Amino acid sequence: MKQWLLAIRPKTLGISLVPVLVGSSLAWTETSQFSLLTAVAALLGALLIQIGTNLHNDAADYERGADTKARLGPARATAEGWFTAAEVKRAAYLGFGAAFLIGIYLAWIGGWPIIILGLFSLAAGYAYTGGPKPIAYSASGEVFVFLFFGLAAVLGSYYIQTLTLSLDAFTTACAVGFLAAAVLLVNNYRDLDTDRIAHKLTLVSHLGRGRARILYGALMLTPFLLPLTLGKENPGIWLPLIVLPWAVILLRRFVSTPIGPAFNQLLAHTAQLQLLFGLLLSLGLLI
């Protein structure tokens, strides 16, 4: 069980939790509409899609030669021999299948927009490392995370509660998506050398490390401008600024830390920052 827990990469699952919390909180703030059952279903669906994506990525990277002994990242289940690639893929498909079942309930609540969103999310989760041209092996990985763990997840969580959308929901989704994309950028920055050997040409490979550092700074700091776009009627929306100093510290570490195992901690801390930002924003919206 411990090995399966490590395989689903629990330190990154906040990427799924945050958009549902933020979207649901904003829905209540703007419309006074909220269903706990619907929010829980949306959260479980998002978590299961991410778990399925993580597991499929684990097996696919091993099969494509991206996960080798030279890799600097944390241990991966297939590469370590804990499970076979077939077992890990089977677990991924179970995750996707469970998400599909939850999606049936959400589709009943939200109608055809949720059906389309759910099917696209499941397809993207598989295509991230599946198929002839995996998303993770191209320059579009960070865009994928921004779209599905930012825009789609926040707007979907907002819509499933209200059956409407708003400009504030869109700008909030962008803020959440930027931080989620920053998490993947750290991963790809750390693994650049071994990824190139495996012909995994990520965005970092195209940008180079110098421009990737600039992008990381933009992704980490831009979300803190969100209170300016939401207005000043509710002072609680400024709560996320509490973690702005930590974002600056992480940016300095990203720029100055030599490539090595220390980036594993930086990756975990970037994910934790995104989680804290989302929790504080959700709390601030509800105050």
Is pLDDT above 90 for 203?
yes
pLDDT at residue number 75: 73
pLDDT at residue number 208: 93
Lowest mean pLDDT among 23-32, 157-166, 196-205: 196-205
Instruction: Report how far apart, in Å, the C-alpha atoms of 215 and of each of 170, 223, 244, 251, 273 are.
Output: 21, 13, 17, 10, 17
Residue labelled with tokens 């570490």: 253
Give me the domain span that covers residue 104.
Answer: 2-286
Is pLDDT above 70 for 132?
yes
pLDDT at residue number 73: 67
Query: Within 10 Å of residue 86's Cβ, how many Cβ atoms?
Result: 10
Instruction: Report how far apart, in Å, the C-alpha atoms of 159 and of each of 115, 121, 125, 179 are.
Output: 12, 16, 21, 21
pLDDT at residue number 131: 76
Is pLDDT above 70 for 66?
no
- Confidence category of residue 70, pLDDT binned at 50, 70, 90: low
pLDDT at residue number 163: 95
The pTM of the full predicted model, rounded to 2 decimals, is 0.91
pLDDT at residue number 27: 95
pLDDT at residue number 189: 94
Query: 11-44: per-residue pLDDT in tens?
Result: 888 899 999 999 999 999 999 999 999 999 999 9
The whole-chain average pLDDT of the chain stands at 90
- Confidence category of residue 72, pLDDT binned at 50, 70, 90: low
Which one has a higher pLDDT value, 62 or 106?
Answer: 106
pLDDT at residue number 145: 93
pLDDT at residue number 107: 94
Instruction: Report how far apart, in Å, the C-alpha atoms of 193 and of each of 14, 73, 122, 185 are.
Output: 27, 12, 30, 14
For residue 58, what is the domain's CATH number?
1.10.600
Q: Which two tokens stand for residue 97?
A: 């299948």
- Confidence category of residue 69, pLDDT binned at 50, 70, 90: low
Lowest mean pLDDT among 16-30, 185-199, 216-230: 185-199
Is pLDDT above 90 for 112?
yes
pLDDT at residue number 215: 97
Report which of 122, 125, 128 is spatially closest to residue 107, judged by C-alpha positions: 122
Is pLDDT above 70 for 155?
yes
The CA distance from 80 to 1, in Å, is 15
- Confidence category of residue 162, pLDDT binned at 50, 70, 90: very high
Per the structure, how many domains does the chain have? 1
Is pLDDT above 80 for 64?
no
The CA distance from 241 to 217, in Å, is 16
Report which of 194, 117, 191 is spatially closest to residue 159, judged by C-alpha positions: 117
Which one has a higher pLDDT value, 230 or 214?
Answer: 214
